[in-house]
Structure 1
Amino acid sequence: MSSPTRDMAFQTIRGTFDILPDEHGSSGSTVPASSSWRWVEGVVRGVMERFAFEEIRTPVLEPVELVARGVGAGTDIVSKEMFTVERSKETYVLRPEVTAPVMRAFLQHHLEQRGGAQRLYYIGPCFRAERPQKGRFRQFHQFGTELIGSDDPRADAETIANVRAIYTAFGVTRTTLRINTLGDAADRPAYRDALRDYFSSHLDALSETSRTRLEVNPLRILDTKNERERELLGDAPRVTDFISPEAREHHARLLSLLDALEVPYVEDPLLVRGLDYYSRTVFELEHDALGAQGALAAGGRYDGLAESVGSKKTVPAVGYAAGIERLFIALEAENVDPPLVSSTDVFVVTLGDAAESAGFGITQTLRTAGLSVDFALGGRSLKAQMKAADRSGARVALVVGDDELEAGVAQVRDLEFGEQRAVPIAQLALELAGEGAA
C-alpha cells in the first residue's frame, strides 16, 4: 500500500463527503455543519416518537441476494448501482436502500411476535454508484418508516401523515404530494402486456434504456425523464384500468382518509416508483428546488416483499424513504436555517501556571456536575482565550488568575451581556449547574 507524500494527501472518494464541525464546500455542494445534521436527526426522531414509531438499525453490509430479490433484478439499483464486497467466496453489498434490510430483520427476529403492526423507523447511510450531482451522492443519508403487519388503508394514510408531519416540523412548505395505485401483483401481468403492445408500436421513439425496460419491466418506462418518451405517455394505457375491485376500494379508502386529514395530493396515473416490490399505494413528496429529480421522499405499499426475500407467507407493509441531503436543499430554498445552538456552557480562562493547574481541576469538577466545559490549551494570552470563549458559544467565561486563587474565587463573566461577578470556587459547580438547569 502506498503512503501519502508531501505533495499528495488522501481525499474523500468521489461522491462522498466529510461532515465537519463547520459548514464547508465539497465538490460543488455545501455540506452543513455536524450540529445541523444532529438537529435534523433530532426533529425526525421527535416526530417519529409522536407517531409511536420505534427505531431499528440494520448493518451497512447485507447479502447481495437480499437486495437483488427484494429490490428487483431489473432495476437500475441492482444492474448498475450496487457497491459489492467479496470475502471468503461470499458477496455482500453496501446497502443501497433500507426497506429490504428492515424486512429481513423483521423476519429473522420474528418481530410479529411482539404483537400488532410494527411501527419502525431508521436513520442512516446508504450507498449507490450513481453519477454525483445536486442532491445525489454515492454515500447518502436517509430516514424513513416501515409499518409492517397491516393491510389497513389507515396504515397507508398514517405513513403519508407521518412524512408530511416531518416536513411541516422543519418549516418546508413548497411541496406536492403525488399519489397512485399499482393494484395487486395479480393485476400486473395484464398491464405489462398492454404497455408492451403500446410501446412496441413506438420503438423508434424509445431510447436504448427504455427498449431494455420494455422487455424486462415496461412499467419503468413510465418513470422516464426523456421528453420525447414523455410525450408518448399521454396515450399510454393507465394502470387504474387494470386493477382489481379490492385494490380500487383500498385506494378510494386511502384518498378519503387523506381528505379527512386535509392532506393535499395530486393523483398521478403515471407514478410507478422504481423498485419492484411496490403494490397498491405509491407516492412521492416533491419540492420545486430539486429540479427534474424532485422527490424529497417516496414510498408506498410492498405486501409482496416478505415472500420475495424468503417468507412463507404474505406480510403486508407500507413505508417511505427520505433523503437528508435533499432536505437540506429544500431548507436552504425556503430560507430555513438550522438553529445555532452551542453545546458549551462554560469556558475556563486562566492566567498563570498556578491558575492553569487549578483551572484544569475546576474544569473536571464542573463536567462531573453535568456542565459542558471548554478551555484553551497552550498557555495563550488573556485576549486570545477570551476570543476563544466567544467563538465557543459558551454562556459564561470563568476567569481564574493569581488574585482569584488567593481569594478562593473565580470571576464569572456573562458572555452575552458582559456582566461579571465573583463566585467562591467551592460553589461554582452548584451555582453554574443550577443556572444551566434554569
Structure 2
Amino acid sequence: MSLQAPEGTKDMLPDEAKFWNRFKQTAAEVFGRYGYLPIETPMFEQTELFVRGIGEATDVVSKEMFQAISGENLKKLLAGESIKGKSRLSLRPEGTAGVVRAVVQHDLVPQGAAPVKLMYAGPMFRAERPQKGRYRQFNQIGVECLGAEAPTTDAEVIIMLMRFFAAIGIPERSMRLLLNSMGCEKCRPAYRERVRAYMEEHEGELCDECMRRAEINPLRAFDCKNPSCSAVMEEAPKITDYLCDDCKEHYAAVKSYLDAASIDYVEDTRLVRGLDYYTRTVFEVQVVDGLGSQNAIGGGGRYDKLAEEVGGRPTSGLGFALGYERCVLALQAAGVEFAPAARCDFFVACVDETTRSAAFELLQMARDAGIVGEMDHQGRSLKSQFKLADKLGARRVVILGPDELAEGKMKVRDMGTRREALVDIATVRELLAHFGGLPYGGEPVPQLEEVFPVGEGE
C-alpha cells in the first residue's frame, strides 16, 4: 500500500497553493493599509508558553496540543528520567502566544512607545478529530496589536477583518459578526463565581466535562456542544450584567465606532471564545450557510494580561485569527472557485532538433523579460507539441523551423483566433533584451501582443 498524507492533513495542490499565496497577499495588502507588518515565529514553542498563555483548562492545552520531542529526550522519558522545561516543546496550536512571546523577548513595545502592529500567516497544529473544515494541521492568518488600550483599536481590527473577508470575495450577506465583552480582572471574578454557582445548581443537567470545567474555569461551559448543556447555559447569568463601569464604557465605545462605520453585529452574551487569555472585547465571524456547526471563519479579542503571563511588563493587546480552510469552504459555498494555477503566455515549438538551441535561447530571454513561456523537453512531434501548448493554455505558439531561421524569421500563431504571421527574430530579440535589462521581476512587463504579433484583426 502506498503512503498517504497523515490523518487530519491535506496536500495543497498547485491550484490551491496558488490561491493560498494570493490569500496571504490580499491579507498583507488589506492589513498593511492599517500599519501591520509581518512577523514569523517558530512552529514550536516551550509547552509552558501555551499552558500559561492559553490556559490549562482549555481543550487546546488539555487535549489537543502535539508534543514535540527529540529522540534523546524520548529515550530519557522512556527510561523514567525527567527532562528540563525548556526541552518540553509543543507544536503551536495558535499564533497569538508566540507573537506575544516574541514582542516581550525583543522588547518591541518599550515603555511609552507607540503600539506595535504585527501580522502572521502559516500552519497551526491541533490533535482534533478531523472533520469538514477542521484539520490537525491547518492554516491561519492573524494580527496582533500590542500597546493600545483605546476602544478605537478594537473597532479598527474588527473593521479590518470584515474588509478582508469582503476583499477575498465572501458575500457580506452570508456572514454574521458576533460581539461581546468578557470584562476585566476587576469584574470578571464575581461573574465567574456566579456562573459556577449557577452550574452547581444545575449539576444534574450538565455533562461531566462541564462540571470539571466549573472547578477550573466555568466560562468554558459556554463552549460545550452538548445540546442539553447549551440549553442550560443559555439561561446562565449574562456577563454584561456584571461589567464594571470602565468595561461598560469601553464596550459601549467599541459599539459606537462600529455603528459609525456601518458594521452590522449581533451581541452574544454567551460568546467567550475558546482561550483563557481574552479580556473585554471578544468577537467572532460566522458563515450563515454552507459550513454546518463548524461555521466560525475568524475571530479574536482583547488580551490585556497575556504579556504579563509570559513574563513581560503590563502591555495591552488585541488581535484576531482567521482560518484559511474555513474561508475556502465559505467561498465555495458562495460559488467562488480556484483559478487554474497553470498560466502560459507562449509556447516555443521546434520543427526539428536543429532549432532547439534557438528555441531554448528565445525562451530564456522571454522569461527574463517577465513573459511566462514553455517548450517541449521530450522530443515530441510538432503535432504533439501543439497539443501540449493547448493543454498548458498557451495564448501564442512560436514555431521555429530551419528554413524560417535561415531567413531570420519565426512563425507566430494565436491559439485563439488561429491567425499566423512571420515575425522578424532580430526585432523580437531587441525588444526582449530591453525589458530583460530591467531588474528581474520588475515592471513594466512587455505585452505579449507587441512581442509576438500576429497582425491586425485579432
Residues 308-327 of structure 1: matches in 2 within 5 Å? 308-311=309-312, 313-327=313-327
TM-score, length basis structure 1: 0.92
Match of 1:260 in 2: 260
Q: Please say if 1:134 is aligned against 2:132.
A: yes
> Within 2, Cα distance between the matches of 1:51 and 1:231?
40
Residues 157-306 of structure 1: matches in 2 within 5 Å? 157-173=155-171, 174-288=174-288, 289-306=290-307
User: Which secondary structure does the structure 2 equivalent of 1:112 belong to?
Assistant: coil
TM-aligned CA deviation for residue 410 of structure 1: 1.8
CA-based RMSD: 1.8
Can you list the C-alpha shifts for 1:226-268, whole angstroms capped at 9, x where unaligned? Answer: 1111211232111112221001100000000000000000001
TM-aligned CA deviation for residue 171 of structure 1: 2.3
Is the alpha carbon distance of 1:234 and 1:79 closer, same or farther for their aligned partners in structure 2, counting shifts above 3 Å?
closer
Instruction: State whether residues 145 and 317 of structure 2, in contact with CA within 8 Å, keep that contact through their aligned partners in structure 1.
Output: yes
> Within 2, Cα distance between the matches of 1:111 and 1:384?
59
User: Which secondary structure does the structure 2 equivalent of 1:290 belong to?
Assistant: coil
Q: Write the letter of the residue equivalent to 2:11.
A: D
> Within 2, Cα distance between the matches of 1:279 and 1:237?
18
TM-aligned CA deviation for residue 430 of structure 1: 4.6
Instruction: State whether residues 278 and 302 of structure 2, in contact with CA within 8 Å, keep that contact through their aligned partners in structure 1.
Output: yes
Can you list the C-alpha shifts for 1:22-73, whole angstroms capped at 9, x where unaligned? Answer: 4xxxxxxxxxx32222222222222122222111111112111111111111
Q: Please say if 1:42 is aligned against 2:25.
A: yes
Match of 2:441 in 1: none
TM-score, length basis structure 2: 0.88
User: Which secondary structure does the structure 1 equivalent of 2:192 belong to?
Assistant: helix
Q: Write the letter of the residue equivalent to 1:150.
A: A
Can you list the C-alpha shifts for 1:331-378, whole angstroms capped at 9, x where unaligned? Answer: 011112344465432221112111122211222222222322211221
TM-aligned CA deviation for residue 405 of structure 1: 1.8
Residue of 103, 108, 111 corresponding to 1:111: 108
Instruction: State whether residues 371 and 446 of structure 2, in contact with CA within 8 Å, keep that contact through their aligned partners in structure 1.
Output: no
Q: Write the letter of the residue equivalent to 2:35.
A: A
Instruction: State whether residues 39 and 338 of structure 1, in contact with CA within 8 Å, keep that contact through their aligned partners in structure 2.
Output: no
User: Which secondary structure does the structure 2 equivalent of 1:186 belong to?
Assistant: coil
> Within 2, Cα distance between the matches of 1:92 and 1:373?
46
Give the share of equivalent positions with the same residue, in percent: 41
Is the alpha carbon distance of 1:389 and 1:102 closer, same or farther for their aligned partners in structure 2, counting shifts above 3 Å?
same
Instruction: State whether residues 123 and 139 of structure 2, in contact with CA within 8 Å, keep that contact through their aligned partners in structure 1.
Output: yes
TM-aligned CA deviation for residue 431 of structure 1: 4.3
Match of 1:3 in 2: none
Match of 1:29 in 2: none
Match of 1:93 in 2: 90
Aligned residues: 420
> Within 1, Cα distance between the matches of 2:58 and 2:446?
58
Match of 1:80 in 2: 63
> Within 1, Cα distance between the matches of 2:24 and 2:130?
23
Match of 1:25 in 2: none
User: Which secondary structure does the structure 1 equivalent of 2:280 belong to?
Assistant: strand
Structure 1 unpaired stretches of 5+: 1-7, 23-32
Structure 2 unpaired stretches of 5+: 74-82, 433-444, 451-458
> Within 2, Cα distance between the matches of 1:242 and 1:263?
26
User: Which secondary structure does the structure 2 equivalent of 1:427 belong to?
Assistant: helix
> Within 2, Cα distance between the matches of 1:409 and 1:35?
36
Match of 1:11 in 2: 4
TM-aligned CA deviation for residue 127 of structure 1: 0.5
363-372 or 207-216, larger mean C-alpha shift: 363-372
Instruction: State whether residues 141 and 323 of structure 2, in contact with CA within 8 Å, keep that contact through their aligned partners in structure 1.
Output: yes
> Within 1, Cα distance between the matches of 2:423 and 2:113?
57
Match of 1:307 in 2: 308
> Within 2, Cα distance between the matches of 1:417 and 1:119?
51
TM-aligned CA deviation for residue 437 of structure 1: 9.8
Is the alpha carbon distance of 1:84 and 1:234 closer, same or farther for their aligned partners in structure 2, counting shifts above 3 Å?
closer
> Within 1, Cα distance between the matches of 2:109 and 2:389?
53
Match of 2:422 in 1: 422
Is the alpha carbon distance of 1:363 and 1:81 closer, same or farther for their aligned partners in structure 2, counting shifts above 3 Å?
same
User: Which secondary structure does the structure 1 equivalent of 2:4 belong to?
Assistant: coil
Q: Write the letter of the residue equivalent to 1:249.
A: E
Q: Write the letter of the residue equivalent to 1:325.
A: E
418-427 or 64-73, larger mean C-alpha shift: 418-427
Match of 2:77 in 1: none
Can you list the C-alpha shifts for 1:367-395, whole angstroms capped at 9, x where unaligned? Answer: 22232221122101222211221222333
Instruction: State whether residues 342 and 394 of structure 1, in contact with CA within 8 Å, keep that contact through their aligned partners in structure 2.
Output: no
Instruction: State whether residues 369 and 429 of structure 1, in contact with CA within 8 Å, keep that contact through their aligned partners in structure 2.
Output: no
TM-aligned CA deviation for residue 179 of structure 1: 0.3
Residues 315-354 of structure 1: matches in 2 within 5 Å? 315-340=315-340, 342-354=342-354
TM-aligned CA deviation for residue 422 of structure 1: 2.0
